[in-house]
Amino acid sequence: QKEVEQDPGPLSVPEGAIVSLNCTYSNSAFQYFMWYRQYSRKGPELLMYTYSSGNKEDGRFTAQVDKSSKYISLFIRDSQPSDSATYLCAIEGAGSYQLTFGKGTKLSVIP
Amino acid sequence: IAGITQAPTSQILAAGRRMTLRCTQDMRHNAMYWYRQDLGLGLRLIHYSNTAGTTGKGEVPDGYSVSRANTDDFPLTLASAVPSQTSVYFCASSSLLRGGTGELFFGEGSRLTVL
């Protein structure tokens, strides 16, 4: 079993839809949870960073962590065409200093 | 603000040739990383360096070497390129936090094709 599982999609939604992106992980030692966004032919950039269970909100984006289920989610409200990108979850164990990335989910928001 | 600069942006290389991908950062981050990104496989760590003068192996280090002579530069060398090394290579840096990597800042990538 891979340490981090992420459905690669692709996922296509109409503009204005609520998007849910998810990852599962197997190692209960993971303590830091991140979402990166990668536009086509660009490097990834950090979108959300959290280290505890629960929700963290930033504008239209909400990151959710459920450590008991080893499940993390990213919700995008009122999705826009500019949200079209690949979204990668990244998870890290405390003190490991090495991120494990999911394979990424490609999202297209159709105007 | 430049951040991470990678060179070349793309390269076609004959199998068996030696190739060095260059990476420079201007953020004075202590940690630097090299990842490769392949369709269906995601981002995989090749080598990393937590501070100048030290390096470590990631998930897929075979066929690659790195050096970290100073804080800013972290070149990746393919001693004898093979077609399976065709990929997009990303350099990244971070200012290590206590207990964690912190935010990774990525370059724009180097697209390498080995024929």
pLDDT at residue B86, rounded to an integer: 98
Task: Tell me how close the Cα of B10 comes to any Cα of chain A, in angstroms.
Answer: 11
Contacts of B98 (CB under 8 A, 6+ apart): none
Contacts of B104 (CB under 8 A, 6+ apart): A36, A44, A46, A90, A99, B33, B92, B93, B94
A9, amino acid identity = G
Residue A104 touches chain B, beta carbons under 8 Å: yes
Backbone angles phi, psi at B55, to 5 degrees: -140, 160
pLDDT tens figures, B58-108: 999 999 999 999 999 999 999 999 999 999 999 999 987 766 777 899 999
pLDDT tens figures, B31-68: 999 999 998 888 999 999 999 999 999 999 999 999 99
Task: Tell me how close the Cα of A3 comes to any Cα of chain B, in angstroms.
Answer: 12
pLDDT at residue B1, rounded to an integer: 61
Of B41, B44, B109, the CB nearest to A43: B109
Q: Which two tokens stand for residue B90?
A: 């990303």
pLDDT at residue B98, rounded to an integer: 64
Contact A83, A53 (CB under 8 A): no
pLDDT above 70: percentage of residues in chain A: 95
